[in-house]
Amino acid sequence: MAAEPAVTGTTELLSLALSRPYEALERAQDLLAAGLPPLEASVARQAIGIVLREFGDIGAAVEELRAARALARASGSAEREADVLATLGVALVFAGRTASGRNALNTAAQRSTGLLRGRILLRRGGVLLALGEHRSALRDLNAAIAVLRLEGDLLWEARAQTERAFCALALGSVRSAVTGLRRAEELFARTGQELESADAIVHRGVLAHRIGDLPAALSWFDAAAERFAGLGAADPALSAHRCAALLAAGLAEEALGEADAEIDRLERVRGAPLKRAELLLTAAECALAAGRPAVARDRARSAAQLFERQRRPWWRVHARLVLTQAQFAAGPPGEALLKDAARCAADLDALSSSRVPLSRLVAGQIALALGRTGEADKHLGVAAGARLRGPALSRTAGWLAEALRAEAVGDHRRLMRACRRGLELINEHRATLGSSELRAQATAHGAELARLAQRHALRLNRPRLLLAWSERWRAGALAVPPVRPPDDEELQADLAAMRMVTSRLAEAQAQGLPTGALRREQLRLERAARDRARRAHGGDRVEPFTFDLPRLRAELGERLLLELVDVAGELHVLVCDGAGPVRMVAAGHTEQAARQVDLVRFALTRLAHGRSTLTPQQLLGQLDVAGRVLERLLLGDAVSLLGDREVVIVPPGRLHAVPWALLPALRERVVSVAPSAAFWLRARGRGDEGTGVALIRGPGLPSEGAEVAHLARELGDAAVVLGGGTATVTRVLAAMDGARLAHIAAHGDFRTDSPLLSSLRVDDGPLTVYDLERIRRAPRQVVLSSCDSGRAHAAGTDELLGLAVSLMQLGTTAMVASVVPVNDVAVVPLMIALHRELRAGAGLPAALSAARRVGAGDPVATATGWSFLCFGAG
């Protein structure tokens, strides 16, 4: 009687190994310790090997499976030995010993019949899929499914359906993949396999990514990560898939960091060389997208070498493609690189890879760089075929190829049509995204198209055409209406918890207490909020782009529009007024201008806070000289066209933080700054005036928000006043919603690492951009009087993320904010003067210009006035 439970126990172990791995491991070890005959001991060892393999300890898994095979042989059961041999073959391939693993699988298949043969063919098909031999894998998997269905083996059929679905995806058949995964999910739901049910969630994410639904993909991957964490398991494949989704979202640096972290983890545990090679390739793709070609080249080369040793030709040729891209990006290209690119494209074509269009695009770009237009057209013609099918981002690459072909032969109409269609697809893609961060980052996919069109307009010396294309690119955010996220209770809970932890952290720091645990919890909550926001879907509505120059001229009237355009690192100023033609003036180098902006912002900060051995007057003199240099770099001879008119400036995203009032030609002038001319025009046309004034004072200001108290006395019951404990996030948002004017005096925290977590400090903690996005009707005008709340982070190509930008995208028409950390005490008289001008009927830009005169003669007050900008249209 004692032997009976042991037999039953070992029979269940193999299914437990993938459903409840810890339980399987414990039971197998207990049964082995109690003593088992060879047949049952073989099952127990095999179960342990499977668990170790899934947990990433491949070396230990191989040793267990070898012991299991020896026990199976000792038992005299040929069927038992074949089954273990197949499992061992899979582990050997995962260990990078491809030839030995394939030989083991082939031998096991030859020695098996019936149901066992179906299961072994599934395992061999899965290995062939991992090795990139998709057609051979499909043959094995089709045969396996036929046998398993006939035998009524639901669990193993579910596994085979999953593998076959991924074969279909690799061969470009999304419909077959959808059908297969649905069938697999149905079968898994009837079996209760925990690890494999987590895998099924990953598979849904992969499918969502492949069909272009990034929010759904990220949501599924996050859900899968939670499931694996609950099981105490890690899945390198999940990391690779999530990195690919982040890459598609334009978050290249974040994707690279995640890939590197998983590679490091695999190296520490000596896990799955196959997965390590795949992650190296993923990291190479991420580094390439992040503009780090040297890193991409090294990772791609290491991946290719590993794939060669593992005898994985499909993967190796994909690594060669990334290596070719990295070498081209590092430049300059030579004939040898063109030959490599052409061979790589031919090899991918032979494999029926979905990367064929990309490989042909790369080969075509290299050929163009070498002046080989005939060869370039051949490659680009193939790549251009992708513009008519597939997800939006894939078609965008096809339109880029078509645009390059047109440029090579000087076909103006075809070039512009291709660029226009490609950018329209980018907006279609952005419309599916509910996250403002993902929307901004997504613009990176259209950067080359925009540059092509701008370069062509510059080459033709057509300022009006260059203005239209610069607007088409910059106004992309307007083509996709802002999405107010739904009332996500979990997101609000994360944000509330984050505020509480941030407050506790500040208290702990003030008291000199340990803060490590609080910092870790803060980071966890920040990541949770960010990930949850990224899962939001967009509205799928795109407004067609129109550039109405006559309407713009009519609205400008006597004003002058200066739109700065960066083409190939050189700044050009497009000058437009209410009557004459659009004019173009060459200015300086973008990099030099950006460095000078950093220098003057640093000098303004030193002057505002007394951090210099020089006297304030000496610092002011230095700033005057620096401002003249900056003026020449940014405006060139366009200064001579200004006259005495008001100016609207539209800078590139890279130069959003210029303190324009520092430039001599602009110091006494009414100036407003806008992200695009189309935004300025839309803001001017907003009919909703808003009602009431909100005055908000945050804690910890050296000035104690003195201007808020002063303004409250002057406005009386006409204002909602919050502060001293009443300025909570909920109340602040309610006061801002629909207001005519919101004045907020609160410390700001600008986050370059995560711009949407940039915040204003109110009484119950940080009020973030995620909070602001809940406002249903943005305040018409906003004044942010403290810190450097006007700063933003350049994302994608020419998009910005930050507090001020988010409010303008939600509907705020004009905003005064600083791009330099200001002296809060010096701000008070400036703000009081600003509001006095507003009450007298001045618009916000004119009010700011007049308020600056209050500080005339005082270096700190002068620097404070220069630090503030008026964004939007007053």
| Residue 35: both structure tokens together | 């003593």
Report the pLDDT value the prediction gives residue 444, as an integer from 0 to 100: 63
Report the pLDDT value the prediction gives residue 479, as an integer from 0 to 100: 43
Cβ-based neighbours of 113, under 8 Å, separated by 6 or more: none
Instruction: Quote the CA–CA distance of 693 and 825 in Å, as a whole number.
Output: 23
Instruction: Quote the CA–CA distance of 865 and 600 in Å, as a whole number.
Output: 14
Compute the average pLDDT of residues 286-306: 93
Query: 769-826 pLDDT, tens per residue?
Result: 878 888 888 999 999 998 877 777 666 556 666 777 778 888 899 999 999 989 889 9
Instruction: Quote the CA–CA distance of 428 and 476 in Å, as a whole number.
Output: 10
Report the pLDDT value the prediction gives residue 785, as an integer from 0 to 100: 92
Query: 575-618 pLDDT, tens per residue?
Result: 999 888 999 999 999 999 999 999 999 999 888 887 777 888 88
Cα Rg of the chain, angstroms: 31
**Residue 693: CA atoms inside 13 Å, Cβ hemisphere, count?**
17
Query: How many other β-carbons are positioned within 10 Å of the β-carbon of residue 33?
Result: 8
Residue with tokens 């100016």: 647
Cβ-based neighbours of 361, under 8 Å, separated by 6 or more: 379, 380, 383, 397, 400, 401, 404
Residue 535 pLDDT more than 70?
Answer: no
Compute the average pLDDT of residues 611-626: 86
Compute the average pLDDT of residues 460-479: 79
Compute the average pLDDT of residues 5-14: 59
Of 119-123, 143-147, 529-533, 633-637, least confident by mean pLDDT is: 529-533
| Position 478 confidence tier, pLDDT thresholds 50, 70, 90 | very low
Of 263-267, 344-348, 563-567, 823-827, least confident by mean pLDDT is: 263-267
Q: Of 14 and 518, which is predicted with more confidence?
A: 14
Report the pLDDT value the prediction gives residue 491, as an integer from 0 to 100: 66
Residue 480 pLDDT more than 70?
Answer: no
Report the pLDDT value the prediction gives residue 402, as an integer from 0 to 100: 94
Report the pLDDT value the prediction gives residue 380, as an integer from 0 to 100: 95
Compute the average pLDDT of residues 138-163: 93
| Position 195 confidence tier, pLDDT thresholds 50, 70, 90 | confident
Highest mean pLDDT out of 46-55, 104-113, 466-475: 104-113
Cβ-based neighbours of 706, under 8 Å, separated by 6 or more: 828
Query: How many other β-carbons are positioned within 10 Å of the β-carbon of residue 539?
Result: 14
Compute the average pLDDT of residues 710-722: 91
Report which secondary-structure segment, H or E, holds 174.
helix 174-189
Mean of pLDDT over the chain = 85
DSSP 729: H
| Residue type, position 33, single letter | A
Burial of 850: CB neighbours in 10 Å, binned 0-12, 13-18, 19+: middle
Instruction: Quote the CA–CA distance of 302 and 288 in Å, as a whole number.
Output: 15
Residue 350 pLDDT more than 70?
Answer: yes
CA 100, 102, 104, 107 torsion: positive or negative? negative
Could you tell me which of 125, 146, 120, 145 has the C-alpha nearest to residue 135? 125
Residue 171 pLDDT more than 90?
Answer: no
Compute the average pLDDT of residues 734-761: 83
Instruction: Quote the CA–CA distance of 46 and 10 in Å, as a whole number.
Output: 10
Dihedrals φ, ψ of 385, to 5°?
A: -60, -25
Contact 599, 820 (CB under 8 A): no
Report the pLDDT value the prediction gives residue 230, as an integer from 0 to 100: 83
| Position 389 confidence tier, pLDDT thresholds 50, 70, 90 | confident
Residue 541 pLDDT more than 80?
Answer: no
**Residue 767: CA atoms inside 13 Å, Cβ hemisphere, count?**
32
Could you tell me which of 623, 636, 530 has the C-alpha nearest to residue 583? 636
- Mapping DSSP to helix (H, G, I), strand (E, B) and coil, where does residue 102 land? helix
DSSP 486: P
Burial of 270: CB neighbours in 10 Å, binned 0-12, 13-18, 19+: middle
| Residue 107: both structure tokens together | 């031998």
Q: Of 704 and 446, which is predicted with more confidence?
A: 704
| Residue type, position 803, single letter | L
Instruction: Quote the CA–CA distance of 342 and 310 in Å, as a whole number.
Output: 24
Instruction: Quote the CA–CA distance of 366 and 787 in Å, as a whole number.
Output: 47
Residue 537 pLDDT more than 60?
Answer: no
DSSP 543: P
Residue 9 pLDDT more than 60?
Answer: no
| Residue type, position 223, single letter | A
The proportion of the chain whose per-residue pLDDT surpasses 90, expressed as a percent, equals 47
Contact 276, 306 (CB under 8 A): yes
Could you tell me which of 788, 846, 852 has the C-alpha nearest to residue 822? 788
Compute the average pLDDT of residues 126-148: 91
Compute the average pLDDT of residues 85-94: 92
Instruction: Quote the CA–CA distance of 282 and 193 in Å, as a whole number.
Output: 29
Instruction: Quote the CA–CA distance of 458 and 451 in Å, as a whole number.
Output: 10
The distance from CA 247 to its chain's CA centroid, rounded to whole angstroms, is: 6
Q: Are strands 693-697 and 719-722 parallel, antiparallel or unpaired?
A: parallel
| Position 7 confidence tier, pLDDT thresholds 50, 70, 90 | very low
Query: 216-270 pLDDT, tens per residue?
Result: 788 888 888 888 888 787 777 888 888 888 877 777 888 899 899 989 888 887 7
Query: 646-681 pLDDT, tens per residue?
Result: 999 999 988 988 999 999 999 999 999 998 898 898
| Position 849 confidence tier, pLDDT thresholds 50, 70, 90 | very high
Query: 725-736 pLDDT, tens per residue?
Result: 999 989 999 999
Of 104-108, 367-371, 745-749, least confident by mean pLDDT is: 745-749
| Position 8 confidence tier, pLDDT thresholds 50, 70, 90 | very low
Residue 138 pLDDT more than 90?
Answer: yes
Instruction: Quote the CA–CA distance of 682 and 678 in Å, as a whole number.
Output: 6
Of 95-109, 752-766, 826-840, least confident by mean pLDDT is: 752-766
